DNA sequence: AACGATTTTGGACGACTGTCGAGTTCTTCT
DNA sequence: AGAAGAACTCGACAGTCGTCCAAAATCGTT
């Protein structure tokens, strides 16, 4: 017979999880500011209402904290991109809306995006990060695929490129734009906008026989 | 009147530079193994015939060493890609040779490539890395552009995409393949090969009116 | 109000970091 | 051979790191 889940137990678990999230958010804040290599547990704690000791009360060690952060980042990420997927009725509308949304997040959430690329690079070295990174990549890939598929549909054709390839092309475009933007290039946003629109046309070419 | 450059002076400078290169190569070895975040000066020295103190004899501080390493990496990189640029006489030959060369370096030089992506991510946080990273990126972009231009020429058309966009698409493709390869996916190499060939066709579509 | 459990604090620990400099070894030239 | 300078070693330094833990504070229940 299983132990029934009492109300008090779930309340405790909820509170525990809430605090974990709170600490993870403070950690994400610090990580996006300093980067993985320069972020310490004490620095994270200073950007939170707690002392540094509490981190080991809610997380076994640093790896578990960072892993939890990466997973949490994904939630933020998906939400962000879900907002991007517009309910456009024409190809032109979708293309313009999508490009605009990407450019907006490039500028508004630059530090969070650079953290993502930092952690993805860490996954090249630390095996413990790989599973989560690959999962986030796949999630983003599906997002992009939905946009491109819909665009191709509106244009009256099918995507000319596999989902995986399509995603990495958009990702490469964004990554480069992020570096330029953080380097102070005012042209970064504009280049990204035209790049995205060009790429959309490329992977979903207008059906000439329509 | 300028001070004439004596033979002995240049010999000393040469020796000094030679040792700097030697130390930088040891550092690159260690960096590619451990990643930026986990590499210390002592660890670098242990992967060299010298003690850790010597690093401050040849480099002012850690930043100068790493910067020198990045610049040196570029030299290796360019050499590598220069080998890739084949003297193909047909589009098919060039496409096959280029794809094959990329797949080969993906497997053979995986740790060096992951170091590059690590350092490029660091440039998102540390301003001191940006100039060198951007320069290397531009160099790689020109390499890719040469291949794509030549391919388009052989196909009898012009590239359909600007140089910057073309580069980041190939780069995104490679970056993803590297993560998959290091994660143990045997399919990574094959996917990269087909991805590269597909992308070549995409950015330099065969001229149907020829 | 008082008790036990949970949560939080902050100091201590050993290990490691980048940096520095005094001393030793090796080169080079007269 | 011996002096002068360059090249190198290695211990010391002041910090910082992740981790742990005993004590204090807070909370929920009676």
- Residues B28-47 pLDDT 10s: 999 999 999 999 999 999 99
User: Does any strand D atom come closer than 7 Å to the Cβ of A146?
Assistant: no
Structure confidence at residue A78 (pLDDT):
76
Structure confidence at residue A3 (pLDDT):
38
Structure confidence at residue A11 (pLDDT):
65
Q: How far is B147 from B204, CA to CA, in rounded Å?
A: 11
pLDDT tens digits along B3-34: 344 555 566 678 899 999 999 999 999 999 99
How many other C-beta atoms are found inside a 10 Å radius of the C-beta of residue B79?
9
Structure confidence at residue B7 (pLDDT):
53
Structure confidence at residue B208 (pLDDT):
64
Determine the nucleotide nearest to B60 by Cα–C1' distance. C19
Q: How far is A43 from A51, CA to CA, in rounded Å?
A: 10
The four Cα atoms A55, A59, A62, A68 give a dihedral, to 10 degrees, of -110
Residues of A with CB under 8 A from a CB of B: 34-38, 114, 117-118, 120-126, 130, 133-134, 137, 160-162, 164-165, 167-173, 175-176, 178-179, 182-183, 191, 195, 198-199, 202-203
**Of A196, A89, A67, nearest in space to A144 by CA:** A196
User: Does any strand D atom come closer than 7 Å to the Cβ of B36?
Assistant: no
Which nucleotides on chain C have any atom < 7 A from a protein Cβ?
6-11, 16-22, 28-29
> Which residue spans of chain A are classified as CATH 1.10.10.60?
7-59
Instruction: From chain A, pick out residues whose CB is under 8 angstroms from the CB of B134.
Output: 179, 183
Question: Between residues A117 and B97, which one has the greater pLDDT?
Answer: A117
**In this complex, do A121 and B124 lie within 8 Å of one another by their Cβ atoms?**
no
Q: Calculate what percentage of chain B has a pLDDT beyond 90.
A: 81
CA A17 to C1' D18 (Å) is 23
User: Does any strand D atom come closer than 7 Å to the Cβ of B54?
Assistant: yes
CATH hierarchy code of domain B1-59:
1.10.10.60
**In this complex, do B122 and A169 lie within 8 Å of one another by their Cβ atoms?**
no
User: In the predicted model, what is the mean pLDDT of residues B54-65?
Assistant: 97
Q: Are A113 and A99 in contact (CB under 8 A)?
A: no
Structure confidence at residue A5 (pLDDT):
45
How many other C-beta atoms are found inside a 10 Å radius of the C-beta of residue A88?
17
> Which residue spans of chain B are classified as CATH 1.10.10.60?
1-59
Structure confidence at residue B2 (pLDDT):
39
The interaxial angle of helices B110-123 and A110-123, nearest 10 deg, is: 160
* Nearest residue on chain B to A198, alpha-carbon basis: B161
Which two tokens mark B15?
Answer: 């020796």
Please say whether the structural domain A7-59 has been given the CATH code 1.10.10.60: yes
CATH architecture of B71-203: Orthogonal Bundle (1.10)
CA A2 to C1' C6 (Å) is 25
pLDDT tens digits along B166-179: 999 999 999 999 99
The upper half-sphere exposure of residue B159, i.e. CA atoms within 13 Å in the direction of its Cβ, equals 17
Which nucleotides on chain D have any atom < 7 A from a protein Cβ?
6-11, 16-22, 28-29
Helix/strand/coil for B152: helix
CA B35 to C1' D1 (Å) is 51
Structure confidence at residue A120 (pLDDT):
97
B62 by Cβ neighbours in 10 Å (0-12 / 13-18 / 19+) ranks as: middle
The upper half-sphere exposure of residue A166, i.e. CA atoms within 13 Å in the direction of its Cβ, equals 26
Q: Are B106 and B112 in contact (CB under 8 A)?
A: no
CA A69 to C1' C14 (Å) is 28
Question: Which residues does strand C reach (CB under 7 angstroms)?
Answer: A 12, 15-16, 19, 49-54, 57-58; B 8, 39-43, 52-53, 55-56, 61-63
- For each of chain A's 210 residues, which pLDDT tens digit applies? 343 445 556 666 788 999 999 999 999 999 999 999 999 999 999 999 999 999 999 999 999 999 999 999 988 877 776 666 767 889 998 999 999 999 999 999 999 999 999 999 999 999 999 999 999 999 999 999 999 999 999 999 999 999 999 999 999 999 999 999 999 999 999 999 999 999 999 999 886 665
**Of B144, B163, B133, nearest in space to B101 by CA:** B144
Chains A, B: CB contacts within 8 A come to 125
Model-level pTM? 0.93
Q: How far is B75 from B201, CA to CA, in rounded Å?
A: 29
Can you say whether the dihedral through the CA atoms of B173, B174, B180, B186 is positive or negative? positive
Q: How far is A102 from A91, CA to CA, in rounded Å?
A: 16
CA B186 to C1' C11 (Å) is 51
Structure confidence at residue B3 (pLDDT):
38
Which two tokens mark A206?
Answer: 């207008």
Structure confidence at residue B11 (pLDDT):
64
**In this complex, do A160 and B202 lie within 8 Å of one another by their Cβ atoms?**
yes
Mean of per-residue pLDDT scores for chain B: 91
CATH fold for the domain made of A69-203: Tetracycline Repressor; domain 2 (1.10.357)
User: In the predicted model, what is the mean pLDDT of residues B122-126?
Assistant: 97
């Amino acid at each position: 017979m299983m132990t029934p889940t009492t109300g008090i137990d779930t309340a405790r678990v909820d509170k525990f999880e809430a605090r974990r999230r709170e600490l993870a958010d403070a950690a994400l804040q610090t990580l996006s500011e300093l980067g993985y290599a320069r972020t310490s547990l004490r620095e994270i704690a200073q950007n939170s209402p707690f002392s540094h000791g509490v981190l080991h009360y809610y997380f076994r060690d640093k790896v578990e904290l960072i892993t939890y952060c990466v997973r949490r980042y994904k939630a933020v990420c998906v939400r962000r991109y879900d907002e991007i997927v517009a309910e456009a009725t024409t190809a032109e509308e979708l293309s313009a809306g999508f490009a605009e949304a990407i450019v907006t997040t490039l500028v508004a959430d630059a530090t969070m995006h650079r953290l993502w690329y930092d952690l993805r690079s860490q996954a090249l070295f630390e095996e413990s990060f790989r599973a989560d990174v690959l999962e986030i990549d796949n999630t983003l890939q599906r997002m992009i695929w939905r946009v491109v598929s819909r665009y191709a549909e509106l244009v009256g054709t099918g995507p000319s490129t596999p989902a995986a390839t399509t995603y990495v092309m958009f990702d490469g475009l964004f990554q480069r734009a992020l570096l330029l933007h953080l380097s102070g290039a005012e042209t970064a946003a504009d280049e990204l906008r035209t790049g995205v629109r060009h790429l959309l046309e490329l992977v979903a070419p207008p059906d000439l026989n329509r």
